[in-house]
Amino acid sequence: MIGRALLVWVALLAIAFANGALREFVIVPRIGDLAGHAVSSVTLSVGILLLSWFTIAWIHPASAREAWVVASVWVALTLAFEFLAGHYVFGHAWSRLLADYNVFRGRIWVLVLITTAVAPVLTASARGLFAPRG
């Protein structure tokens, strides 16, 4: 199950890169930086939910607990990639990376993390993957 969850996370990463490119080259030039980041956060959240919906049966968590494990792995990998690759590979300052978490300044990136954290559980439950308790 974890191996499949890791493969799906790599697909999530690809969706995030495509979403970021769309944001930088299409959305931000048309509506501005702050609104562009907000729209991008929402579209990426939708992408995460859709990918989770289409792959959760393949990942096959047998219980809500296992779905939470998948969610935890996805969130941990997302945060590690965002901060470690963001800083050490892409050269972004720590302050720039943290700025996306400032909801008081209109940044709603945290929505993406919340979506990532609940998507496996919501989609597995909605698709009826958990055996009923008896």
The tens digit of pLDDT for each residue in 96-131 reads 888 888 888 888 999 999 999 999 999 999 999 986
Distance separating alpha carbons of residues 20 and 24, to the nearest angstrom: 6
Distance separating alpha carbons of residues 127 and 60, to the nearest angstrom: 11
How much is the pLDDT for 126?
95
Mean pLDDT of 17-24: 96
Instruction: Judge contact between 100 and 35, C-beta under 8 A.
Output: no
Mean pLDDT of the chain: 93
Percent of the chain with pLDDT over 90: 78
How much is the pLDDT for 105?
87
Instruction: Judge contact between 37 and 100, C-beta under 8 A.
Output: yes
Q: Distances in Å between the alpha carbon of 108 and those of 41, 42, 87? A: 7, 9, 20
Could you tell me the end-to-end alpha-carbon distance of the chain, in angstroms, rounded to an integer? Answer: 24
Distance separating alpha carbons of residues 123 and 57, to the nearest angstrom: 9
Residue the block writes with tokens 């993406």: 112
In this prediction the pTM is 0.91
Instruction: Judge contact between 66 and 1, C-beta under 8 A.
Output: yes
